Structure 1
Amino acid sequence: MKQVNKVGRPSENRDNRAKLIRSARELFVEQDYDKVSLREIAKKAQVDSALIRYYFQSKLGLFMAMLKETAAPVTEQLSKANQNIDEKSSELLMMTYYRVMSENPDFPKLMFKIASTPISDKNIDFQHILDQIFRPKHINLFASMQQQGLLKDGVDPLCAQISFFSMMIFPFLIPDRIKNTIGIKITPEFMLKLGQQNAQLLQFGCLNTPKNNTIESDK
């Protein structure tokens, strides 16, 4: 096995680590966790396989880092949304999610697969990862919005939360055959357009914004 140099140029170290994260994400989306080997990841990343143990200690360590780092922009926006809740919170979260996932359109399928797997001794680590990424206090956004008086009268916060999650997640779970039939391509440009339209659906359907109050008072 080649000797791994722990001292190198910072930019080269970052590049190698980023290549491993990117290659791991692609392979773990395509195949089950058990079927992906360290050698396969290193080959796809075009780096020495010993670097995986250097940066991540193990395949599980790489898998955990890949999930956390890919989801990081979304979880950061979730945290911000809960710290400073206003009528733009849901829109900003949705747009952040669409932006990140349009660059990794198969990643939500991986997250959905992990979340749908019954908990066992074999996959308990995966469930812990999801718990760390999506903490309950971070995803109860609409309950917090209701407490702030930001939801219209009659809007159930739990139902609004489910509608919101459906808008966020479903576009990335649509089977390829259906996407091809109706002419959908998950690109950053399309997701930006979809995000803007879904934000309007939320605004006029659920949110008690000043703009909506003006419209209703004019009727």
Structure 2
Amino acid sequence: MARTKRAGRRSGNPDTRAEILAAARRLFAEEGFESVSMRRIAGEAGVDPSLIHHYFGSKDELFLAAIELPLDPAPEVAAVLKGGELEGAGGRLMHAFVAIWDGPHQQKLLAVVRSSLSKPAMSFVLKQLFEHRIVKTIEETLGDQVDHIPVRASFVATQVFGLVVARYILKLEPVASLDRAELAATIGPTIDRYLTMPVEHLVAEG
């Protein structure tokens, strides 16, 4: 059933930010991050597009606010990979991810993951988070060093999400009790293998 659009454009008011977030959540969940423009979100919310820039600055920031993520993992991922050697990248990535999840935003991050596991729309949005903020960042940072980076980055994402579920939601031992250095030393080599092994060993061709 088609939604009823609000007549005209509204200027900023206390409800405008909430209306923009609600529209963004709907569109991101239904159509995906890449397919939805800021102008489209503004039209859905019934506001002037300039108000989205006023409240959120950029599409990336709007996306993070829409899924209520308290921080953006992309800068951390880029920082530990940019300008560094490919060797040992897995350990650096894992150390950075665990530092994020063990930090002050842990409960908010877990709320996002739990919501995504129980609500289909949120599950799709979380998928986009991994694709757009983690996988894409790995592609952009390491793309000139390794081949088939989209495939490799996707496998790296499986390690990250698997660790989040095992360590913080299921609290499986001994994973739940290992410190950052131990996790980096244990899981890092697997990530290194995903980044360097022949791609045909990761996925069947054709």
Q: Could you tell me the TM-score, scaled by structure 1's length? A: 0.41
Structure of higher CA gyration radius: 1
